[in-house]
Amino acid sequence: MTVDHPADLTIVSLLPRLLDTNGDAANARVLAQRARWAGLSARIVPVHAVADLPATVDLVVIGSGTDTDLVAARDALSTLAEPLRAWLTGGVPVLAVGTGWELLSAGLNLADGSSVDGLGLVPGRAGALPARVTDDLVVDADGLRLLGFENHLRGYAGAAAPLGTVDYGTGNGDGTEGAVDGSFIGTHLHGPVLARNPQLADRMLGTAAAARGLTLTPTAQTESVDGIAKAARNQVAVRLSLTSE
């Protein structure tokens, strides 16, 4: 276990060497920077093995990988199954993207008819789609518009609850996108998702900060960056003939 250093928030990035195909490990950097803009200190701890774990964990980010690394990533994550279970049951905000999310589920059904067992830590299972989906993805998450790009071979069924409904794109393949189970969020949204959708980042940060008795207070810097992200989402909305925010 690594030696702790004083910080308001500790953000763990799991397996960033294996699970960062679409740059999704950068979601940890988004969380850390937004925390700092809000006046909180934050540090990112890359975790590749149990020995890397800090004593205190406030948020967890898991990125996506390639199918050629599915078994290697699953086996690496399995060594961290107990901490992951503790974080999930303890209400620690966990964001998992793409295969990082799928590997926490019951398993993955592949296009060739084979399957890969998951860790079974979150409800549901990933199943093969007719073809790879590569396109914009726009999601209505209880009135919050989430936007990114999707690049995946599988949909998802059996989630405790979806992250939202699909306004444009494929998502889970049934009109919904992602999964929510307590403090856990799983999604096909790349971008990275928290950079393009800072309100989602602040939901996670707010939960983590409240658990530590801290307050997340937006600043002029966060408002400026949020304006840029909103303008970028609106540009995509116009291109897709969707209503702007």
User: CA nearest 122: which of 57, 203, 186, 207?
Assistant: 186
Residue 36 assigned ligand-binding role: no
Q: Which residues contact 200 (CB under 8 A, 6 or more apart)?
A: 141, 144, 146, 185, 193, 194
Instruction: Please say if 5 is a catalytic residue.
Output: no
Please give the C-alpha separations between residue 120 and each of 70, 210, 225, in angstroms, as whole numbers.
Answer: 15, 28, 37
- Integer Cα distance of 90 and 71 in angstroms: 27
Terminal C-alpha separation, the chain: 45
Of 48, 152, 188, 190, catalytic? 190
10 Å CB burial of residue 224 (0-12, 13-18, 19+) is: exposed
The most distant pair of C-alpha atoms in the chain lies apart, rounded to whole Å, by 52
Residue numbering of the annotated binding site for substrate: 132
- As annotated, the active-site residues are 190
